[in-house]
Chains A and B, each alone.
Chain A
Amino acid sequence: MDLLKRILGILWIALALLTAYFCIFQFGLPKLSTGHQEDVVFGIIILFILTPIISIGLGVFGYFALKGEFSADKM
């Protein structure tokens, strides 16, 4: 089980990168370029608040998992 937890760490890091791509290029930047003020606010919140929390948070979680921080002996 501990080995599986470590291997899956790679998946969480990959997911963090995928989320960052989706948030920045599919959601955030297109919103900034629509010209509507409400979209600009939403785009800024996506890019500068949500993306860091979701992507960096999940990335750090994946890194901890990969390093074995969630192994039974470290809980």
Chain B
Amino acid sequence: MQETVNKKGIWKVIGASSLGTLIEWYDFFIFGSLSIVIATKFFPADNPTAAFLSTLATFAAGFVVRPFGALFFGRLGDLIGRKYTFMVTLMLMGGATFLIGCVPSYETIGFWAPLLVLILRLLQGLALGGEYGGAATYVAEHSPPGERGYWTSWIQTTATFGLFISLVVILITRTVLDENQFDSWGWRVPFLLSIFMVYVSYLIRKNMDESPEFKKAKSEGKTSTNPLKESFGNKYNLKFVLLALFGAAMGQGVVWYTGQFYSMSYMKTVMFLDSNQADMILGIALLIGTPFFIVFGKLSDKVGRKWVMMTGLALAIFTYRPIYEAMYQLTNLENKQENVDLRTTENKLVVHDSKRDSVQTVNKFYTDGTNEKITTTKHLVENTEQTAQVKSTVFLSGSKYYMLIALIFIQIIYITLVYGPIAAFLVEIFPVKIRYTSMSLPYHIGNGIFGGLLPAVSTYLAMNAKTTGHSDFYLAGLWYPIIISAVCFLIGSLYITKSMTHKDLNQ
């Protein structure tokens, strides 16, 4: 009977924690997913100050503020408790997201618009930095011994699922409204919706009890008076923080970003795959792959966290290049044969905002079912053709389409291997009195900095390879996640020991 009550209780804990964390990820990702609309409303490219603030919003929220949020809220969580702290992060995130949806555009209030959005985006970064560590710690401290990997893996699904939900909400809003309505006010709907989701999550969370481990430590007077000093000023604990960062979190960060974000940008900008098709392929792979967070979280309870995570890193190191080579070849038209009889050409004149464009669309069909659409747009000035823009878009069908889903799915599996057990791993290596602070910082540096840097560094490497004439320049960007994963694999395999990951949570 007791067992049943406990299980019921922990499902309530998981539900309340996961829902809140899911909403926080949703809030964080809709800004990125709607970045093109946001740029036109708040950060006009022809205004240098607004463009400057836009860059700050992009880099600062992801790279700089998240670790600071981890320190600020981690300290708070170790001083006053997990429950109250991650309630604050939830309110902060929800409030900031809602307010982004309320800020008047640059056209209405000028410079204040991008400044307000920047401030609100920074608050989102701070809140995210504090949320994850709280939720993971809270769930782990409620979990029965020997099942922490399984229960905390539910929290691990929320980042991927949050991205998925953000894409679905935007898609539904776009479908319900017409293009003008969406551009005028509809883009605000996903931001405004956040306040309702946060309110529901608040109602669920407010009735939850404080974590039993923290409550016990507090009643015995064993909580820390200075969590920052004890976490990073104490050599014994600092070495575990560094090991968590360089032996697990940094590899996890790059594998996560490669599978979820680099793969999407690779499909759109290197393979020239149709944008909607790329989104759909990633969405399907995410949906099929998400349950594996639970599978590998549970597996880590049986065989240990270390080798589940290291397997994910090793697979990434040795197979990223063949996977991306196979992806590239799926849309490489040089190796395909065109069915010339099916080729169609369409010419039309497009008039918009008193400008006229001559648009030619050539549709090419290949024997394996691939379709290429080449659109050439020429601006007409006094009936004279001026500049030309050529855009090639590839559409896959049949087995090639499913092959691409499978290749993305494999990368999602790598994410689930390294990310599924990491919350339990991070929680278990730090003592209860400084756990929130100690685990949050390496996690957010690993994700925010090592993972967040991936697009910039990989683009730089690919551009360099292209400039120097490397025939496989399209694979050069992968050196960043491969090298980081390799260093992380070496450090994790050698330095992480069984004794450090099997501590009693009460210690």
Spell out A's residues near B (CB within 8 Å): 1, 4-5, 8, 12, 15, 27, 37-38, 41-42, 45, 49-50, 53-54, 57-58, 60-61, 64-65, 69-70, 72, 75
Contacts and interface: CB of A to CB of B under 8 A. Distances in A.
B480 to A, nearest CB: 11
Contacts, number: 66
Contacts of A49: 63-64, 449
A70 B490 CA distance: 14
A41 B56 contact: yes
Contacts of A27: 457, 460
Contacts of A53: 67, 445, 449
A65 B496 CA distance: 12
Interface in B369-394: none
A54 B483 CA distance: 14
Interface size class of B (residues with CB under 8 A): 20 to 34
Interface string B29-67: 000000000000000000010011011100110011001
Interface of B: 48, 51-52, 54-56, 59-60, 63-64, 67, 235, 238-239, 242-243, 245-246, 445, 449, 453, 456-457, 460, 487, 490-491, 494-495, 497, 499-500
A68 to B, nearest CB: 11
B251 to A, nearest CB: 13
B449 A37 contact: no
A38 B64 CA distance: 16
A32 B344 CA distance: 48
Given A42-B59, A45-B63, A50-B63, A5 B495 contact: yes
B246 A58 contact: yes
21 contacts: A12-B491, A37-B52, A38-B52, A38-B54, A41-B52, A41-B56, A41-B59, A45-B63, A49-B64, A50-B449, A53-B67, A57-B246, A61-B239, A61-B243, A61-B246, A61-B491, A64-B235, A64-B239, A64-B242, A69-B239, A75-B497
Q: 7 closest A-B pairs (Cβ-Cβ)?
A: A38-B55, A61-B242, A41-B55, A37-B52, A64-B239, A70-B495, A75-B500
Contacts of A45: 59-60, 63-64
B64 A60 contact: no
Nearest to B429: A75
Contacts of B242: 57, 60-61, 64
B257 to A, nearest CB: 15
A1 B493 CA distance: 11
A57 B245 contact: yes
Given A37-B55, A53-B445, A72 B453 contact: no
A70 B52 contact: no
A33 to B, nearest CB: 15
Contacts of A37: 48, 51-52, 55
B246 A70 contact: no
Contacts of A60: 238, 242
A38 B246 contact: no
A8 B494 contact: yes
Given A45-B64, A57-B445, 18 more contacts: A1-B494, A5-B495, A27-B457, A37-B52, A37-B55, A38-B54, A41-B56, A49-B64, A49-B449, A50-B63, A50-B449, A53-B445, A53-B449, A57-B245, A57-B246, A69-B235, A70-B239, A70-B495
A15 B239 contact: no
B48 to A, nearest CB: 6
A5 B243 CA distance: 12
B456 A42 contact: yes
Nearest to B442: A57
A5 B494 CA distance: 7
Contacts of A54: 449
Contacts of A61: 239, 242-243, 246, 491
Contacts of B243: 61, 70
A35 B499 CA distance: 52
A15 B487 contact: yes
A8 B67 CA distance: 28
